[in-house]
Chains A and B, each alone.
Chain A
């Protein structure tokens, strides 16, 4: 397969970073001995990279795996042979990670990959810069703490072709992706990396068909507690207050860079421990996904709904005013 030209920014594709780690470790353990073809064979023999369905990856997938490592600077080519880049600290950290099965990445591996991804100029210019409008250089920590939301929307271009508009919510930065390679690379490549693989952003769908993405910090017990207090501390004028889950995502997660999962963890605590004074208000799945026209879009829209212990999609919760006293007693 022809190697991409340096001018091609849009090389990112959906891949498993857990698999990528195993491939990197394979390269490192055979440093300077492997051609791309030999690496492919070795991956197949050892089952180092499997698809989500548990099958052997295609040649194209293996190419994208290899290309990602090369583009991120984790691997170099010397005289046609693949060599792990030990000059890079994140790479050294990754090589210290224990060999994993098919499970998830550890937090430290995820952070190391995040450094490589955010440190990559193509990934920044195609995607992460939209969250950092007005900022100069930034690292992972700065991205998590100081990044601001960005939005993408499916739109038609001026020529009537389907495209994707990506824009910063704060600055004026925006770009319309019109070529298939651009959409694949940004929407299904680096966005998936940032959201699903590396935990750098979270996302939820809006009713107008767009989606809002925002940088997140790591979830912790402290963030869950803070969420609980923020929810319970809402001014309750009457006996009850009804809160929209979507509103809570905006007010608590978006504003303070907490993952949506943290909010839902806090809601789990409230609804389980204080079921006598917290009422979930469910909606039907059809109602929740009414503007979706594909399974992917349905999943995106459902991210804005809390799933209670009965599996129902909850759009609102109603909280009794006594909850604040109860939480204060417990804390």
Chain B
């Protein structure tokens, strides 16, 4: 194996599994054409007043997760939009709520909410607010006092405009008051209808709205985005009863409504089949999701130029300081298309895997890598099933 240092590299900048985005932000690079199209759609959504939802459709390994991570780490924060990333959150609403609030953290959320509504707590309680959130909780330890605190908070949450629904306000108040005893969320907290659940049955979408309003008003975040990967796993009704599947689609539709009222942005990634099925099975949902198909980005196959840029960008990041490479693509050939098949060149996952193995294989090979070496690696990783027949 050629040592990485012989190639002028500190590390192997490619991932072995090539599943998802790289750890380092500096190599989180998307092709310019993709970025231009997605940015245009985001700009239009920012200026518009309608639903703020964007669909990214692409085959497995095409770069959906990569694009979501680029949005999550770079593009959305640049637009002052606070993103939350959900990786295959499951098929039920409570998976989404559970994932969201676990990312926020219960203590932080409770404290933010308390800080925001405490000016609206009635004057009779005011003396108890002097020591802040912790002081307030300390002074309401008994069951009676806790019930009193919940009642005061419930009223304050309604007055502060977080929610005008009594039950939702009550459950949020409980969330705040019970945090010292249980400073973390449990899955069952979000299963609507269960005893002790924080979510009122049938009120998932308004509950989400209240959470978003809290994040927006209390944390000073104007806009919030949900980035949902493998969205087809949510939209598939498998394992749900017909009623549950229907309820869940209704919740998704109401979630879309929230994008207008609560400045929520939705970005969902799905496969081409999921996109086609949703268009056919739920055309109305699709139309709303994508604003009559305007905000749907079909991830194209990588071009030879994009593939070269991907590799070049990674190598540049991993170069040893002071090392002057013979070419920017070194140790790879300048023209990857002469070494690798169109199928590999067009797929980010396949390309990254081949490059990883090219740099990490324990075999002697001269530098720079010749086309034969790269072809052999490609054939090993992605054997052609008809190779024997072709020989005949």
Q: B386 to chain A: which residues have CB within 8 Å?
A: 269, 271-275
Does B142 lie at the interface of the complex (its beta carbon under 8 Å from any beta carbon of A)?
no
Interface size class of B (residues with CB under 8 A): 20 to 34
Q: A278 to chain B: which residues have CB within 8 Å?
A: 343
Stretch at the interface among A37-45, A101-109, A286-294: A286-294
B301 touches A288 (CB 8 A): no
Stretch at the interface among A167-175, A190-198, A316-324: A316-324
Q: How far is the CA of A15 from the CA of B280 in the complex (A)?
A: 35
Interface residues of B in 365-392 (CB under 8 A from A): 382, 384-386, 389-390
CB distance from B228 to the nearest CB of A (A): 15
B281 touches A291 (CB 8 A): yes
Q: How far is the CA of A283 from the CA of B60 in the complex (A)?
A: 9
CB distance from A135 to the nearest CB of B (A): 31
Q: How far is the CA of A274 from the CA of B343 in the complex (A)?
A: 10
Stretch at the interface among B9-17, B156-164, B267-275: B267-275
Interface residues of A in 75-118 (CB under 8 A from B): none
Stretch at the interface among A17-25, A48-56, A237-245: A237-245
B59 touches A279 (CB 8 A): yes
A287 touches B301 (CB 8 A): no
Q: Whose C-beta in chain A lies nearest to the C-beta of B382?
A: A275
Q: Whose C-beta in chain B lies nearest to the C-beta of A276?
A: B341
CB distance from B234 to the nearest CB of A (A): 11
Q: B40 to chain A: which residues have CB within 8 Å?
A: none
A293 touches B242 (CB 8 A): yes
B301 touches A318 (CB 8 A): yes
A283 touches B273 (CB 8 A): yes
Q: A322 to chain B: which residues have CB within 8 Å?
A: 342
Q: Whose C-beta in chain B lies nearest to the C-beta of A207?
A: B280
Interface residues of B in 64-96 (CB under 8 A from A): none
Q: B341 to chain A: which residues have CB within 8 Å?
A: 275-277
Q: How far is the CA of A77 from the CA of B233 in the complex (A)?
A: 59
Q: Which of A240, A272, A273, A316 contacts B273 (CB 8 A)?
A: A316
Q: Which of B300, B347, B389 contacts A272 (CB 8 A)?
A: B389
B277 touches A287 (CB 8 A): yes
Q: A8 to chain B: which residues have CB within 8 Å?
A: none
| Interface-central residue, A239, A279, A286, A316, by most chain B CB under 10 Å | A279
Does B103 lie at the interface of the complex (its beta carbon under 8 Å from any beta carbon of A)?
no
Q: A246 to chain B: which residues have CB within 8 Å?
A: 276
CB distance from B240 to the nearest CB of A (A): 10
Q: B271 to chain A: which residues have CB within 8 Å?
A: 281, 283, 287, 315
Q: How far is the CA of A278 from the CA of B382 in the complex (A)?
A: 13
A281 touches B238 (CB 8 A): no
Q: How far is the CA of A317 from the CA of B281 in the complex (A)?
A: 22
Does A180 lie at the interface of the complex (its beta carbon under 8 Å from any beta carbon of B)?
no
What is the number of residues of chain A that contact chain B, defined by CB distance less than 8 Å?
A: 35
Q: Whose C-beta in chain B lies nearest to the C-beta of A313?
A: B273
A284 touches B232 (CB 8 A): yes
B347 touches A279 (CB 8 A): yes
Q: Which of A238, A244, A286 contacts B236 (CB 8 A)?
A: A286
| Interface-central residue, A272, A287, A309, by most chain B CB under 10 Å | A287
Given contacts A275-B384, A279-B59, contact A320 B232 (CB under 8 A): no
Does B346 lie at the interface of the complex (its beta carbon under 8 Å from any beta carbon of A)?
yes
A318 touches B59 (CB 8 A): yes
Does B303 lie at the interface of the complex (its beta carbon under 8 Å from any beta carbon of A)?
yes
B343 touches A320 (CB 8 A): yes
Q: How far is the CA of A318 from the CA of B342 in the complex (A)?
A: 11
Contact with B along A253-285 (1 / 0, CB 8 A): 000000000000000010111111111011110
Q: How far is the CA of A238 from the CA of B341 in the complex (A)?
A: 17
Does B237 lie at the interface of the complex (its beta carbon under 8 Å from any beta carbon of A)?
yes
Q: Which of A289, A291, A309, A316 contacts B385 (CB 8 A)?
A: A309
Q: A318 to chain B: which residues have CB within 8 Å?
A: 59, 301, 346
A281 touches B280 (CB 8 A): no
Q: Whose C-beta in chain A lies nearest to the C-beta of B342?
A: A320
Q: How far is the CA of A314 from the CA of B232 in the complex (A)?
A: 15
CB distance from A123 to the nearest CB of B (A): 33
Interface residues of A in 186-211 (CB under 8 A from B): 207-208
Q: A290 to chain B: which residues have CB within 8 Å?
A: 235-238, 277, 281
Q: How far is the CA of A61 from the CA of B233 in the complex (A)?
A: 43
Q: Whose C-beta in chain A lies nearest to the C-beta of B390?
A: A273
Q: How far is the CA of A309 from the CA of B384 in the complex (A)?
A: 11
CB distance from A312 to the nearest CB of B (A): 10
CB distance from A235 to the nearest CB of B (A): 17
Q: How far is the CA of A208 from the CA of B283 in the complex (A)?
A: 11
Q: A279 to chain B: which residues have CB within 8 Å?
A: 59, 301, 343, 346-347
Q: How far is the CA of A277 from the CA of B301 in the complex (A)?
A: 12
B59 touches A287 (CB 8 A): no
Q: How far is the CA of A320 from the CA of B271 in the complex (A)?
A: 20
Q: Which residues of B are at the interface with A, using a C-beta cutoff of 8 A?
A: 59-60, 232-233, 235-238, 242, 271-274, 276-277, 280-281, 300-301, 303, 341-344, 346-347, 382, 384-386, 389-390
Q: Which residues of A are at the interface with B, using a C-beta cutoff of 8 A?
A: 207-208, 238-240, 242, 244, 246, 269, 271-279, 281-284, 286-291, 293, 309, 315-316, 318, 320, 322
8 contacts between A and B (CB under 8 A): A239-B303, A244-B272, A273-B386, A276-B343, A279-B343, A284-B232, A284-B236, A320-B343
**Given known contacts A269-B386, A279-B347, A290-B235, what 14 new A-B pairs fall within 8 Å (CB)?**
A208-B280, A239-B342, A272-B384, A272-B385, A276-B342, A279-B343, A279-B346, A282-B60, A283-B273, A290-B236, A290-B237, A316-B273, A320-B343, A320-B346
Shortest beta-carbon contacts, A-B, top 7: A272-B386, A276-B341, A315-B273, A283-B273, A207-B280, A281-B59, A273-B386
